[in-house]
Each structure stands twice: as C-alpha cells, then as structure tokens.
Chains A and B, each alone.
Chain A
Amino acid sequence: MYVAVKGGEAAILATHDLVAEARRGDPAVPEISVAQIREQQALACARVMNEGSLYDQDLAALALKQSQGDVIEAAFLMRAYRTTLPRFGSSEPLDTAAMAIRRRVSATYKDLPGGQVLGPTYDYTHRLFDFALMEPQQAPSPLGWGEGMPRDAQNAGSPSVPSSDPASPGHLLPQGEKERAPLDATMPRVPDILGAEGLMEAEEPPEGDPRPFDLTRDPVSFPADRDVRLQSMARGDEGFLLGLGYSVQRGFGGTHPFVGEVRVGEVAVEFVPEELGFAVDLGDVTLTECQMVNQFQGSKDVPPQFTRGYGLVFGHSERKAMSMSLVDRALKARDFGEATNYPAQQDEFVLYHADNVEAAGFVEHLKLPHYVDFQGELELIRRIRREREERLAQEQNAMPEAAE
C-alpha cells in the first residue's frame, strides 16, 4: 500500500537560513560586492555567462555571489532568470572581423597582418604564487604603465612579464616608449588568408542565409546540423568540451589541429527593432573566437584543403573557445565521410551530454526521495534471495540421491 507523506517544510526553511549563513562565512570578514566579483573575477563571470547562455556581467557576478562561487549553480540561476524574460528578437550576425582586439595570436603564421598581440594572458606566467596579492594592491596607473612608476609596482597586481633587459628587442615595452600606436582597426581572420589561396575549406552561408535553429525553442533531432552543434557547444560545459577536445588530440578522432587564430575583444551587437526598421547598435560584448586549422579533406571535385573547427564564446574564455573548435571539427566527421568511432565525433553523444545544467539536474535528482522506488527494489531483492534459498534447498535434497 502506498501512503502519501508530507513534511520537511520547517527543515527546508531552516536550511535556507543556514545556507545564507554559510555563504556569508565569517561575519568579521567584509562582505564581497557584486561589482567586485564582476571586476575582479571576470573570467569566472565569463564562464557563468557562457554556460548560463546569457550575456550580463552583473547578473553573472550576482549568480556567483549567490551560489558561493559554484559555477554550475550560477549558470542554473542565469538559465532560470532567462526564462522569465521576453525575447525581443535576434541580433544581426556578429561581425568578428570588426572586433576591437585586445588579444590575438596565431600558431600558424608568425608574421601575419596585424601581428601577434599577446594581450592580457596567463600563458607566459610561471604559475608561481604572487604572495603580494595576499594584501590589497596599489591601484594601477590609468595607462597601466609608464608615468614614472617602476614597472614592477604597476604589475604587482597582475602576472608580470619577467623584467628583462629593456634594450632587448623582444621586450614588450622598451624604456622611454610610453605608448604605441593603436592596433590595426581590423585584422584579417587567419582562415581567410588560407582561403584566399584556396587552401581552406570554404565557409559560406547556405542558400538564402537561413535563420538558425534554436534549441531553446525546438527539440533537437539527430543528425544535428552545424548551427545546432555550435549553439549546444557555446552553452555547453567547459570541462566536458575540454575533455572531448583533449581526447581528439590524443587520438580518439585525430585531426591534427593548429590554432589558426585566437582573438579576444569587443564586438558591437546590432538589432533591428521592427518599429524602427534600421539596425540599432546595442553596445559591445566581449567575445573569444578560435579558428582551428585541421588536416585535409578533398573530393573528386575539390582538391585537398585544410578543414576548419570554429569556437565562439562570451567573455575572455580561450580554453572553452579552443575546446569548442576542436570538437566542432571532430563533429564534422560525418559530413566529410570519415569514420565516427569516437565520442567527440558523435553528435548525439556530445550534444546530449554537454549541457551541465541538464546533466547536474539528472545526476543530482538522485538526492531526492526515491522511497517508493526503493521499497520496490527491496521487495524484489528479498524475493530473489528467497527463491534462491528455496532452489538451493531443493538441490540439497536432491543431492544425496545423485551421489548414490
């Protein structure tokens, strides 16, 4: 007989109080502000915006504060909030060629137009603790350099390039040079350079430049087209995509990738409101784009060409953009008639498991009461054991006769 039970309201209310206390930590330590998280934990905010699939730096910071820094919980808050908002429409497609670049590197061309711009990166740091950060730092000068401050003092709050001989040609900021000319207003995307030679798989909109599929509105079916795959990965879990991208590199779907380009910077978002009928510039979003160049494909009509993997994500999120581009290329296996033996090449596997909010929901629902389910299991295992004992007893009885 099933007996419905209720209860737990008081316990749940008490846990809300307790989690608020746990979140606050030691009240003797000043409370962190949302603005502090937004400004000083921007990379965490970027991850929350990506996995929450909503660009809003303040909300991402609030989500991190509210979730005690639990990124997946924070992404869940973003997703939940998003569902309460009306959608005004879709933007014009972003023009990443017009990005205001802060960082742009290529592993395929040393001397590419626009140059190698390292920007703010941890890539060349030694991964040694900067114990100076244990104490509040002096604010950097408005320029971030120069103005008579010793370089070490300005960089105390950020990973500094090891001081080297200022006369050495590789030094980033020779003494006496307070500022440089700004970067080129636009920089060619590396695959376009290869494309001009016909060496790169063409990337053109399909006939009629159709509206993209939206997996937040329509159920996904398989095989999934590229627009579905890219949307799914853009909101997918960084760790999951990193693992899959790594698996591709290790031979579980090898494509021999090169970073054609990684670029980070700001891009304007344009939207055409119906009532105005012209494009309105809504402001800038920070984006990271990765163009992965992979080994060749050709056909009887097309001579061998490099193939592309593409990654585009919110905020400064290089690891995510690179992982996405590796898996994007792996998922093209079917389009190119390649074998699809490995997880990263199988769209159903990748798309169904990339979403960490869904995954966490299904894994963590196991914590919820399953009392009735489990009662059934208990009855089943008791019956199996009883039947086994009866069968053993019967065999025991039959044995002596067989031995005679």
Chain B
Amino acid sequence: MSQKTPRQSWMATLARASRAEIESLLGDPPEHDLLKAPETGTVMVEGRAGGAGRRFNLGEATVTRCVVRLSNGRMGFSYALGRDGRKARLAALLDARLQDEAEGSGLHQGVATLAAQQASARDLASRKAAATKVDFFTLVRGA
C-alpha cells in the first residue's frame, strides 16, 4: 500500500498497539452493540516467488476481528494479528470514535502519539542494525 488513508493509518497503528495502550487511549468504553463479537481465525499469508513473481501460500497467521456499533450508529472495525479478543473489541470502539471525531481531537492526538512511538521503535531497531553494517577497507599490499 503506497499511500494510506487516515483511517487505514490509525487501524495500522492500533493493530500494532498493545492492549494496555489501547485501553488507556480509549478510557471508559462507550455504549455499543457487538455486530461481530471478537473472533479469532486465520489469514493465509501470501508471498511471491522471487519477491515479485507468482503468488504462493506461505502459511497462515492468527488474526482476531471485531465489529461494533456505537449508539449513534457509527460502526467500528478491528482486524489485527494475534488472538486478543479484548484488544480487538476496544480497537473497534476506537475506530468508530476516531471516525466521529474531528481531526486534531485528543483521541486523534493520542493515536498520533502511539504511531510516533511505533515509528521511533522501528527507527531504533534500524539504527541498531546499522551499527552492524560492514565498512569494508582495503589492505595495502607490498607497501
């Protein structure tokens, strides 16, 4: 996916967040109906031969999904790797509320903070890897 919509971005952030992070971001869960109770299943993960060629099935991954509806009718979805049903339900509630709230609201800022933390964790991992990058040097022979 080259360019994510704002909703795709926050769903990606929530998928990578821990349950505790989602709990503290949401606060008290708003009233809602469960349209699809948290359910764990799998998604077959596909690769491509050589990275860019023919598709093939690499293997499955566990995924948990949930769909909620707030009392105002707004629906929220969550799809994420793993088997945490509670996280899925709270993330779906956040998805619903984020759609309702104006950009720049406290909730949106909270998600932005989570996204920034995730980006900085990735950045740190990349810097650690960069420390293992080889600097080749040439031995001068016969000098």
Contact = CB atoms under 8 A, between A and B. Distances in A.
A353 interface: no
A230 B60 CA distance: 14
B23 interface: no
Nearest to A264: B129
Given A55-B62, A204-B53, A279-B8, A94 B45 contact: yes
Interface in A124-159: 143-145
Given A54-B42, A101-B129, A182-B127, A310 B59 contact: no
Contact of B128 (A88, A144, A279, A283): A144
A91 B45 contact: yes
Given A89-B43, A270-B1, A284-B16, A170 B59 contact: no
B81 interface: yes
B116 to A, nearest CB: 15
Contact of B58 (A100, A111, A179, A312): A312
A356 interface: no
B63 to A, nearest CB: 6
B52 A204 contact: yes
A85 interface: yes
A91 B131 contact: no
A234 B58 contact: yes
Contacts of A238: none
Contacts of B5: 278
A89 B16 contact: no
B41 to A, nearest CB: 4
B81 A205 contact: no
A115 interface: yes
Nearest to B15: A283
A110 interface: yes
A100 B46 contact: no
B105 to A, nearest CB: 22
A161 to B, nearest CB: 9
A289 B81 CA distance: 21
Closest 9 CB pairs of A and B: A203-B50, A182-B126, A281-B12, A203-B53, A55-B61, A227-B56, A283-B81, A118-B132, A169-B137
